[in-house]
């Protein structure tokens, strides 16, 4: 152990020495220092000071004030310089206090704590695992999916990794999964929340770079999904190639608990098709089974129908409408939504009298299904439109293109497959999903959708998300004064941490700019005669390297103000479009997406790999940190690969913002 | 001494806790405003100012609380591996070099800034006849002073740590990742984790055997 501590110390000290020595090496002798050199000196000092471990916000503030004074002092007598320094400080602090982008930080954080404390992760993981039980590495895939959804909704990396370390890690170990693979999926999955919007990282980037958070959210959506998809594909492929890494879980892990009456109805055969039996029983009345229960099951069995038909109908109405951006159409959908919403909620809601103790989990799952109305509403809206439009085509409709019929056929096939395999067991799984997966993804989609489609500003959507968090917690019966109190306290702490960091860094970057450190860097970059591609590569490599010793907050608030003016230079580069395939005006947005994806690696790169330490904290004691680190490495490689893919195909990120804000 | 330190912790924490309820107010205010505007067609111009001020109050006043609860983000490349006395030395030097100048300047500057606002009875210009701003601006010197006092407490703690070789204790506060609570939430007990350990050891053993036989085969 002693040796190990030494190693860490040596590593840290070596990093600091590298920073100091390379700064001194690159700088002219002290006597020739200009103000700009002081700026660069300050920059390298801040990296060293952060590594020493002092609260970063105050290091930034203190250094900022000292160097601001130096900068002003070089042009004016002390008295005026002091006055100017003080003015700058308050003006910077006040601008953070009145920042209408950062205001969504506490709201999203609050939403996250409320959702986390609604305690639905256990149910979420179990139902997802049962739902995909047949594919190779199902437990690992379910872990990734749970992480992606839960981390996106809460954004609290530490809690997600810890919870999954308590839930999924034991499950995977019991199924004899490889330790490294198990550790890798938990740590990598847990950090997805910082990329997939709504994430605080993107808000901070938006506030630093003056890029619209709305566009960042729209842009980061697909890269986030892509990264999660790559993790999943990687796990499936590895599990398929080498089943010893991820053996099939023992049967007791995949057993579905069926209520007694459902077993009776199915005649003891859980693989019997559920839909016709329930429909018949509902119509004729089955002995000893309450109608209400049957009705609930029947309504649930209709959910796949709605989920498949709805998107098709949306596409239909989109491709046949002559004027796509017709606000009248939007309103119409809205009203239909409201009507359908009520129907839907009515169908799912269980009459209060029919609850029974034996079906406690089922009863608990019910309220959220009803509570998710606002979000599910987006989907159920469509069937009405679908039913209405073919029969009475409005004059402003044009005939759908050929591919639409292909899509329709595909949807019908899918529908057939789903209902041909919807057994009693699957229906039970669907019920569990409805109680865990759907409310959460509905909450996320509602928040995101309303931001991306411009129905609400990010701040408003964040407030609605926090309100949704309340509803969710209430729906799972967890809402209490204590829960709200704890969530509020934690929100205050997290917000203070982020925003004080912002106060410090905005004073710091003002000092850096005043000293002219920025000019020196710009001159240097321009003197290299880089192409935009080379520039982007260089900055991403720098950010990747910074991610090893530093945390993402520090990288965003300290280094983005330095990189972004450079991005501004390359925005006007005539070769940009031909070499990268993106327009200059999109560059800050695209850069932000690259940074967000890149900073995922900061969570998995030792020695400050937060995720690893959280997992270690709850893992059995023979699981070593080195095993966890080793497990994370393939996922870090995937992150880099995803970065390259996004780099080669910028449209993955830019397509949605272009579509919505053209 | 310890009593005095904990007492000041308590004040910071109390202020932080009290103002943290503003997040509930902020959520409620904005939700109400969205409904009012979208569905009842009656927007309120003052809500923009109100939400900004609620947010500003929330995070500024929570600064000292966060410092007292050790919630401020720090780089952890080295710090966690240092002995308490070395930690205290590093902290002490950096508190004196950076924290004191920064916070003193902020508080003093904020005092002047807020004073000017009070003198002219400044009001928000976002809307006509906007709400007063002088209260809001006064939060800068207030929060700065609070953090400054809390910083003095932390400096004293560094000195105590240098003397005793270990950090003085603090009062507990709600934590983001409270492992015990999370365990309770997902119904996992320590024994379960201990049981799992056997599985880990087994897997390791198997791997070692496999590697061993492979090595022999190669030889």
At A622, is the pLDDT very low, low, confident or very high (cuts 50, 70, 90)?
confident
Put simply, the answer to whether A53 touches B63 (Cβ < 8 Å) is: no
Q: Is A627 exposed, middle or buried (0-12, 13-18, 19+ CB in 10 A)?
A: buried
At B216, is the pLDDT very low, low, confident or very high (cuts 50, 70, 90)?
very low
SS3 B99: helix
Q: Is A146 exposed, middle or buried (0-12, 13-18, 19+ CB in 10 A)?
A: buried
Closest CA to A343 of A407, A295, A389: A295
At A366, is the pLDDT very low, low, confident or very high (cuts 50, 70, 90)?
very low
Query: Is 80 exceeded by the pLDDT of residue A330?
Result: no
- pLDDT score, position A334: 43
- pLDDT score, position A205: 92
Closest CA to A338 of B39, B34, B27: B39
CB-CB contact of B180 with A115 (8 Å):
no
Query: Is 90 exceeded by the pLDDT of residue A637?
Result: yes
Put simply, the answer to whether A62 touches B101 (Cβ < 8 Å) is: yes
Put simply, the answer to whether B59 touches A52 (Cβ < 8 Å) is: no
- pLDDT score, position A5: 56
Chain A: residue nearest B18 by CA?
Answer: A489
CB-CB contact of A183 with A632 (8 Å):
yes
Put simply, the answer to whether B75 touches A15 (Cβ < 8 Å) is: no
Number of Cβ within 10 Å of residue A621's Cβ equals: 12
Task: Give the mean model confidence (pLDDT) for residues B84-99.
Answer: 90
Q: Two tokens at A217?
A: 């959210």
Minimum mean pLDDT range among A385-389, A636-640, B49-53, B82-86: A385-389
3-state secondary structure A570-619: HHCCCCHHHHHCCCHHHHHHHHHHHHHHHHHHHHHCCCCCHHHHHHHHHC
- pLDDT score, position B102: 92
For chain B, give the percent of residues with pLDDT over 90: 38
Instruction: Measure in Å the smallest separation between the Cα of B159 and chain A Cα atoms.
Output: 16
Q: State the DSSP code for B168.
A: P
Of A273-277, A615-619, B24-28, B162-166, the range with the highest mean pLDDT is: B24-28
Minimum-distance CB partner of A166 among B90, B188, B197: B188
Which residues of chain A does B62 touch, with a Cβ-Cβ cutoff of 8 Å?
492-493, 495-496
SS3 A55: strand
What is the count of residue pairs from A and B with beta carbons less than 8 Å apart? 286
How far is B124 from B120, CA to CA, in rounded Å? Answer: 12
3-state secondary structure A7-32: HHHHHHHHHHHHHHHHHHHHCCCHHH
Which residues of chain B does A162 touch, with a Cβ-Cβ cutoff of 8 Å?
177, 179, 182
Please name the helix (run of DSSP H) or strand (run of DSSP E) that holds residue A112, with its range, or none.
helix A104-117
How far is B58 from A493, CA to CA, in rounded Å? Answer: 9
Chain A: residue nearest B52 by CA?
Answer: A98
Distances, alpha carbon B200 to alpha carbons A169, A170, A194, A514, A633, in Å: 11, 10, 30, 57, 20
- pLDDT score, position B141: 93
Put simply, the answer to whether A176 touches B91 (Cβ < 8 Å) is: no
Q: Two tokens at B1?
A: 């001494």
- pLDDT score, position B58: 93
Put simply, the answer to whether B185 touches A119 (Cβ < 8 Å) is: yes
Query: Is 90 exceeded by the pLDDT of residue A271?
Result: no
Task: Give the mean model confidence (pLDDT) for residues A231-235.
Answer: 94
Minimum-distance CB partner of B73 among A159, A486, A553: A553
Chain-centre distance of CA A416, in angstroms?
A: 33
Number of Cβ within 10 Å of residue B25's Cβ equals: 15
Is pTM beyond 0.90 here? Answer: no
CB-CB contact of A257 with A126 (8 Å):
no
Minimum-distance CB partner of B98 among A62, A467, A498: A62
How far is A375 from A373, CA to CA, in rounded Å? Answer: 5
Chain B: residue nearest A551 by CA?
Answer: B75
Minimum-distance CB partner of B90 among A53, A61, A97: A53
Put simply, the answer to whether B74 touches A53 (Cβ < 8 Å) is: yes
Which residues of chain B does A623 touch, with a Cβ-Cβ cutoff of 8 Å?
200
Number of Cβ within 10 Å of residue A611's Cβ equals: 25
Query: Is 60 exceeded by the pLDDT of residue B199?
Result: yes
pLDDT tens-digit map of A35-82: 888 888 888 888 888 888 888 999 999 999 999 998 888 888 888 888
At A531, is the pLDDT very low, low, confident or very high (cuts 50, 70, 90)?
confident
- pLDDT score, position B159: 92
Put simply, the answer to whether A496 touches B100 (Cβ < 8 Å) is: no
Task: Give the mean model confidence (pLDDT) for residues B35-58.
Answer: 88
How far is A193 from A190, CA to CA, in rounded Å? Answer: 7
At A481, is the pLDDT very low, low, confident or very high (cuts 50, 70, 90)?
very high
Minimum-distance CB partner of A549 among B75, B173, B179: B75
Minimum-distance CB partner of B98 among A59, A166, A489: A59
Put simply, the answer to whether A55 touches B199 (Cβ < 8 Å) is: no
At A388, is the pLDDT very low, low, confident or very high (cuts 50, 70, 90)?
very low
Put simply, the answer to whether B101 touches A489 (Cβ < 8 Å) is: no
Q: Two tokens at A183?
A: 């550790």
Closest CA to A563 of A199, A211, A97: A211
State the residue for tokens 């999109």. Answer: A586
How far is B60 from B189, CA to CA, in rounded Å? Answer: 39
Which residues of chain A does B80 touch, with a Cβ-Cβ cutoff of 8 Å?
53
State the residue for tokens 């029947």. Answer: A298
DSSP string, A203-254: HHHHHHHT--HHHHHHHHHHHHHHHHHHHHHHHHHHHHH-TTTSPPPPGGGS
pLDDT tens-digit map of B126-183: 777 788 888 899 999 999 999 999 999 999 999 999 998 888 888 877 777 788 888 8
Length of chain B: 219
At A362, is the pLDDT very low, low, confident or very high (cuts 50, 70, 90)?
very low
Closest CA to A320 of A392, A267, A236: A392
At A195, is the pLDDT very low, low, confident or very high (cuts 50, 70, 90)?
confident
ipTM of the complex: 0.90
Which residues, other chains included, contact A230 with Cβ-Cβ below 8 Å and sequence gap of 6+?
Answer: A638, A641, A642
């Amino acid at each position: 152990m002693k040796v190990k501590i030494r190693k860490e110390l040596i590593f840290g000290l070596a990093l600091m020495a590298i920073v100091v020595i390379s700064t001194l090496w690159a700088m002219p002798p002290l006597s020739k220092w200009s103000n700009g050199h002081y700026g660069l000196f300050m920059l390298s000092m801040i990296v060293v000071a952060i590594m020493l471990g002092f609260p970063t916000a105050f290091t930034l503030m203190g250094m900022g004030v000292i160097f601001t004074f130096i900068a002003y002092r070089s042009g004016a007598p002390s008295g005026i310089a002091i006055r100017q320094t003080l003015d700058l400080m308050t003006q910077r602090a006040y601008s953070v206090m009145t920042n209408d982008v950062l205001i969504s930080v506490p709201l999203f954080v609050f939403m996250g704590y409320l959702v986390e404390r609604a305690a639905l992760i256990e149910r979420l993981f179990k139902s997802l695992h049962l739902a995909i039980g047949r594919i190779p590495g199902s437990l690992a895939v379910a872990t990734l999916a749970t992480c992606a959804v839960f981390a996106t909704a809460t954004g609290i990396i530490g809690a997600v990794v810890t919870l999954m370390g308590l839930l999924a890690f034991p499950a995977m170990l019991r199924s004899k999964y490889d330790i490294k693979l198990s550790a890798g999926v938990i740590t990598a999955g847990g950090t997805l929340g910082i990329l997939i919007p709504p994430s605080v990282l993107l808000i901070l980037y938006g506030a630093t770079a003056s890029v619209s958070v709305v566009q960042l959210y729209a842009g980061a959506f697909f890269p986030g999904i892509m990264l999660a998809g790559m993790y999943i594909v990687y796990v499936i492929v590895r599990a398929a190639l080498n089943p010893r890494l991820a053996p099939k879980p023992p049967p007791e892990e995949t057993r579905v608990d069926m209520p007694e009456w459902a077993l009776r109805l199915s005649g003891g055969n859980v693989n019997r098709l559920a839909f016709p039996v329930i429909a018949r029983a509902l119509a004729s009345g089955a002995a000893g089974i309450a109608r209400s229960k049957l009705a609930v099951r029947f309504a649930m069995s209709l959910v796949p129908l709605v989920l498949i038909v709805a998107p098709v109908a949306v596409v239909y109405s989109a491709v046949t409408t002559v004027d796509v951006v017709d606000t009248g159409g939007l309103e119409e959908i809205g009203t239909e939504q409201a009507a359908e919403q009520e129907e839907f909620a009515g169908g799912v809601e269980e009459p209060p009298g029919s609850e029974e103790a034996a079906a406690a989990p089922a009863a608990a799952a019910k309220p959220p299904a009803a509570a998710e109305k606002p979000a599910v509403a987006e989907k159920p809206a469509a069937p009405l439109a679908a039913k209405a439009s073919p029969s009475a085509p409005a004059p402003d409709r044009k005939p759908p293109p050929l591919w639409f019929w292909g899509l329709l056929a595909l949807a019908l096939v899918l529908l057939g497959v789903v209902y041909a395999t919807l057994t009693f067991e699957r229906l039970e799984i669907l019920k569990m999903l409805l109680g865990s997966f759907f409310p959460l993804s509905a909450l996320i989609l509602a928040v995101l959708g309303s931001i991306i489609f411009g129905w609400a500003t990010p701040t408003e959507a964040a407030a609605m998300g926090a309100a949704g968090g309340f509803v969710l917690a209430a729906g799972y019966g967890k809402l209490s004064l204590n829960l709200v109190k704890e969530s509020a306290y934690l929100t205050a702490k997290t917000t203070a941490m982020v925003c004080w960091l912002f106060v410090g860094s905005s004073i710091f970057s003002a000092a850096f700019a005043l000293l002219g450190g920025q000019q020196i860097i710009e001159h240097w970059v321009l003197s290299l005669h880089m192409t935009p591609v080379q520039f982007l590569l260089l900055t991403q490599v720098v950010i990747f390297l910074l991610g090893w010793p530093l945390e993402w907050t520090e990288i965003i608030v300290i280094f983005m103000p330095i990189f972004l003016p450079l991005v501004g230079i390359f925005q006007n580069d005539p070769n940009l479009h031909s070499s990268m395939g993106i327009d200059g005006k999109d560059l800050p947005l695209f850069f932000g997406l690259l940074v967000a994806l890149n900073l995922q690696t900061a969570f998995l790169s030792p020695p400050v790999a937060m995720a690893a330490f959280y997992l270690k904290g709850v893992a059995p004691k023979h699981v070593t940190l080195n095993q966890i680190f080793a497990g994370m490495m393939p996922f870090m490689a995937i992150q880099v690969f995803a970065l390259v893919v996004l780099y080669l195909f910028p449209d993955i990120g830019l397509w949605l913002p272009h579509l919505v804000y053209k | 001494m310890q009593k005095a330190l904990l007492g000041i912790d308590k004040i910071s924490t109390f202020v932080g806790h009290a103002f943290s309820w503003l997040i509930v107010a902020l959520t409620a205010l904005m939700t109400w405003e969205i409904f009012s505007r979208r569905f009842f067609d009656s927007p309120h111009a003052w809500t923009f100012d109100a939400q900004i001020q609620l947010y500003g109050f929330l995070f500024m006043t929570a600064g000292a609380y966060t410092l007292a609860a050790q919630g401020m983000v720090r780089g952890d490349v080295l710090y966690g591996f240092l002995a308490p006395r070395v930690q205290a030395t590093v902290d002490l030097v950096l508190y004196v070099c950076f924290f004191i100048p920064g916070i003193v300047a902020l508080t003093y500057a904020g005092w002047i800034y807020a004073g000017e606002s009070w003198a002219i009875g400044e009001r928000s210009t976002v809307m006509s006849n906007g709400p007063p701003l002088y209260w809001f601006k006064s939060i800068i010197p207030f929060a700065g002073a609070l953090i400054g006092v809390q910083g003095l407490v932390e400096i004293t703690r560094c000195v105590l740590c240098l003397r005793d070789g270990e950090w003085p204790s603090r009062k507990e506060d709600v934590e983001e990742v409270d492992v015990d609570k999370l365990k309770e939430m997902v119904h996992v007990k320590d024994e379960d984790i201990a049981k799992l350990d056997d599985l880990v050891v087994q897997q390791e053993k198997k791997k070692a055997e496999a590697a061993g036989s492979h090595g022999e085969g190669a030889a």
